Amino acid sequence: MSPTRVGALVLRQFYLLRGSPARLLPMFAWVAIDIVLWGFITRYLNTVAPPGFNFVPRLLGAVLLWDFLTRVMHGVSTAFFEDVWSRNFLNFFATPLSVEEYIVGLVVTSIATSAVGLAVMLVLAAAAFGLSYAVYGAMLLPFLLVLFVFGIALGVFGAALVLRLGPAAEWLIWPVPAMVSPFAGVFYPLATMPAWMQAVARAIPASYVFEGMRAIVSGGSVSAAPLAAGAVLAILYVLLAGWFFLRVYRRAVRTGLIARYSAESLS
């Protein structure tokens, strides 16, 4: 693993962001809009809810955490799509760059871009709507870590899928967070869902985070075992996603797809 080559991939993404407001803006604009929208919704709900019940840490906190996961996933997939859009695979993979370094480059890029989005959300939610992170205490960090690892897994899996199916599969990847969210119990307890959805939810690491978050804001505590299960699942998925990407890449090298990857050749 060469830090210089991984750094070269991150540098490319930095150059792209630096020179393009259209790329820079979505890093914080959409999450800011989400926080503003849900901030006002929670403020309104607080006026109609029984006294003492606060929606801010339940709903706004959930939106913040879910948007963070979405940013992480899109951080990986957008960095990958840049190479799809510019038909750059032949140039990259004809260098000494290994596929493992390429994946790490995507992940490091996502860390940087999602950190920007997270910082904007944290500041806005606290300053404009009084979301206090002290409510979550020390659990905020493990919550974010589980969501981060799961977001990386989704991003790498999505990238592998597009590499396998062709550029048009990009449209399958963007809505993945929206497809997962009903099962992850972002806004409601898992017990609200029918049994079959709860079974699916147990396989989604994020569901353990949101259950834990709700337990904390209800005055309870998070038991370590379910959150650890979420963490183990997230790690398992990231390993599986990496394995899947490697497998798809090797097939692409065997068939010559890497050399002639383009919209024309696949779609």
Partner 1 sequence: MTGLRKAYGATAAVDDVSFRVARKETVGLLGPNGAGKTTTINMILGVLEPDGGRIEIEGVDLAADRRMALRHTNFAAVYAPLPGNLTVEENLRVFGRLYGVRRLAERIAALLAQFDLERFRRVKCGALSSGEQTRVSLAKAMLNEPRLLLLDEPTASLDPASARDIRAGIRRFTLEGSGGVLWTSHNMREVEEVCDRVLFLSRGKILLEGDPKALPRDYGKTSLEELFITVAREPLTLEEN
Contact set with partner 1 (CB under 8 A)? 2, 4-5, 7-9, 11-12, 15-16, 19-20, 82, 86-98, 253-254, 256, 258-259
Shortest Å, Cβ 239 to partner 1: 23
Q: Which is nearer to partner 1, 89 or 210 (CB)?
A: 89
CB 159 within 8 A of CB 221: no
CA distance linking residue 159 with residue 87, whole number of Å: 14
Shortest Å, Cβ 21 to partner 1: 13
Shortest Å, Cβ 9 to partner 1: 8
Q: Kindly give, in sequence order, each residue whose CB lies less than 8 Å from that of residue 23, ignoring residues fewer than 6 positions away.
A: 16, 17
Q: Which is nearer to partner 1, 102 or 244 (CB)?
A: 102
Shortest Å, Cβ 84 to partner 1: 11
Q: Which is nearer to partner 1, 19 or 189 (CB)?
A: 19
Q: Which is nearer to partner 1, 15 or 40 (CB)?
A: 15
Residues 30-44 as b or e (16 or more Cβ within 10 Å = b) = ebbebbeebbeebee
Residue 167 DSSP label: G
CB 41 within 8 A of CB 91: no
Shortest Å, Cβ 254 to partner 1: 5
CA distance linking residue 160 with residue 145, whole number of Å: 23
Q: Which is nearer to partner 1, 7 or 130 (CB)?
A: 7
Q: Which is nearer to partner 1, 82 or 215 (CB)?
A: 82
- The token pair at 234 is 């997230």
CB 150 within 8 A of CB 69: yes
Instruction: Of 123, 117, 126, give the one whose Cα is nearest residue 26.
Output: 117
Shortest Å, Cβ 260 to partner 1: 8
